[in-house]
Amino acid sequence: MNILLMVVPRYGAYTMVLTGVLVLSADLMYLWLLPDAPLQVRFEVGMLKFELGWCFWLTLVAGKRALTHSHTQLGPKQKLLTLNTNCLPVKINLRNRWWGNLFH
């Protein structure tokens, strides 16, 4: 994704949207599949509790950040960053250069 952001920013932003959507859908799927009643598994050493831990919240924030950052990449600023080369006329006069005689 980072290489795409540097080479083709629009495709990098599309990839970032896809990443954000996949991360958020995985988080929502986990939240949906988590049982309503607290599930606790007892071991000899301790208890295993299924709850929303720091990993869930971290991936939720990462997915939201990926989506918001990609939308700022795809927003109206994208049009301002493109350079129109048709409005920059460049004329090179080869006759005034020392190598100009080689081509004539």
Average pLDDT over residues 4-16: 83
Q: Which of the four pLDDT bands, split at 50, 70 and 90, describes residue 50? A: confident
Token readout for 48 is 């295993």
Letter string b/e over residues 19-58, b meaning 16 or more CB atoms within 10 A of that residue's CB: bbeebbeebeeeeeeeeeeeeeeeeeeeeeeeeeeeeeee
Q: Which of the four pLDDT bands, split at 50, 70 and 90, describes residue 81? A: very low
Cβ atoms of residues 45 and 1 within 8 Å: no
DSSP conformational letter for 48: E
Looking at mean pLDDT, say which of 11-15, 17-21, 81-85, 92-96 comes out highest: 17-21
Q: Which of the four pLDDT bands, split at 50, 70 and 90, describes residue 13? A: confident
Is the model's pLDDT at 103 over the cut of 80?
Answer: no
